[in-house]
Amino acid sequence: MTVIAGRRISPQNLGSAYDRFTVTPYAGALGAVIEGVDLSQDLDDATIAEIRRALIENQVIFFRGQDFTPEQHLAFAKRFGTLNQHDQVKGMEEYPDIIEVRQEPTDTRNFGGAWHGDVTYLPEPPLGSILYAREVPPVGGDTLWSNLYLAYEDLSPGYRAMIDPLTVVHTPALIYGTKSMDWSKDSSMNSSPTEAAHYEVEHPLVRTHPESGRKLFYVSGAYTPHFKDQTEEESAPIIDYLMYQATREPFTCRWRWQKGDVAFWDNRATLHYALNDYHGHLRVMHRVTINGERPAR
Ligand code: SIN
CATH number assigned to the domain comprising residue 21: 3.60.130.10
Does some domain include residue 296?
A: no
> What is the count of structural domains for the chain?
1
Write down the pTM of the prediction. 0.96
State the alpha helices, DSSP H only, in 79-172: 148-153, 157-163
- Three-state DSSP class for 56? helix
pLDDT of residue 249: 97
The type of residue at 281 is H
Distance 290 CA to ligand 1 centre (A): 15
**Does residue 116 have an active-site annotation?**
yes
Distance 112 CA to ligand 1 centre (A): 5
Q: What CA–CA distance (Å, rounded) separates 70 from 72?
A: 5
Mean pLDDT for the chain?
94
Residue 6 has pLDDT above 70, yes or no: no
Give yes or no for a contact between 27 and 249, defined as CB atoms under 8 angstroms apart. Answer: no
Does some domain include residue 63?
A: yes
pLDDT of residue 266: 98
CA of 274, closest atom in ligand 1: 8
Does some domain include residue 297?
A: no
pLDDT of residue 8: 64
Q: What CA–CA distance (Å, rounded) separates 224 from 201?
A: 10
**What value does the mean pLDDT take over residues 150-175?**
97
- Residue among 99, 129, 143 whose CB has most ligand 1 atoms within 8 A, to mutate: 143
End-to-end CA separation in angstroms for the chain: 24
pLDDT of residue 148: 98
- Three-state DSSP class for 1? coil
CA of 142, closest atom in ligand 1: 8
Kindly list the protein residues whose Cβ atom lies closer than 6 A to any atom of ligand 1.
Answer: 101, 111-112, 118, 129, 131, 143, 272, 274, 285, 287
CA of 285, closest atom in ligand 1: 7
Does some domain include residue 295?
A: no
Query: In this prediction, what percent of the chain has a pLDDT beyond 90?
Result: 86
The type of residue at 239 is I
Q: Are strands 32-35 and 60-63 parallel, antiparallel or unpaired?
A: parallel
**Does residue 287 have an active-site annotation?**
yes
pLDDT of residue 4: 54
Residue 254 has pLDDT above 90, yes or no: yes
Q: What CA–CA distance (Å, rounded) separates 96 from 265?
A: 20
Per residue in 74-113, pLDDT (tens digit) is 999 999 999 999 989 999 999 999 999 999 999 999 999 9
**Does residue 209 have an active-site annotation?**
no
Q: Which domain holds residue 15?
A: 2-290
